[in-house]
Structure 1
Amino acid sequence: MSRLLAALLCLPLLGLCLLQTPNALAAEEPLFSADGYRLTRQRSPTPATVDGAQTIDTAALQRLLAGQQPPVLIDVFRRAWLHGQFAADEAHHNIPGSLWLANVGDGQLAPQWQDYFAHYLDQASGGDRARPLVFYCKSDCWLSWNASKRAAALGYTRLYWYRDGIDAWQQAGLPVQDATPAPLP
Structure 2
Amino acid sequence: MLGIAIVGVALAAVPASAHDGAFDAATGYRISGYRGVVPGPPPGVARIDAKGVAALVDRGGALLIDVVPAEGGVRDAATGTWRLARPAVSIPGAAWFPEAGRGVPDPAIARWFAGGVATLHRAHPRRAIVVFCLADCWMSWNAALRLSRAGYPRVLWFGEGADGWRDIGRTLVPVTPWSSKSKARS
TM-score normalised by L of structure 2: 0.77
**Cα pair distance change 1:43/1:121, threshold 3 Å:** same
Residue in structure 2 matching 1:151, options 109, 125, 147: 147
**Cα pair distance change 1:40/1:174, threshold 3 Å:** same
Give RMSD over aligned pairs: 2.0
Which of the two has greater helix per residue?
1
Measured in 2, the distance between the counterparts of 1:169 and 1:158 equals 20
Corresponding residue of 2:110: 114
Q: Which has the larger radius of gyration?
A: 1
In structure 1, the gaps of 5 or more residues are 1-28
State the shift of 1:161 in Å.
Answer: 0.6
SS at structure 1 position matched to 2:22? coil
User: Does residue 87 in structure 1 map to residue 83 in structure 2?
Assistant: yes
Report the number of matched residues: 156
Residue identity opposite 1:78 in structure 2: P
Percent identity between the two aligned chains: 29
Measured in 2, the distance between the counterparts of 1:179 and 1:142 equals 21
TM-score normalised by L of structure 1: 0.77
In structure 2, the gaps of 5 or more residues are 1-19, 182-186
**1:126-145 residue pairs with structure 2 within 5 A?**
126=122, 131-145=127-141
State the shift of 1:129 in Å.
Answer: 6.4
Corresponding residue of 1:36: 28
Measured in 1, the distance between the counterparts of 2:114 and 2:75 equals 22
SS at structure 2 position matched to 1:126? helix
Deviations along 1:135-158, one digit per CA (max 9) or x if unpaired, are: 000000000000000001111110
Corresponding residue of 2:47: 55
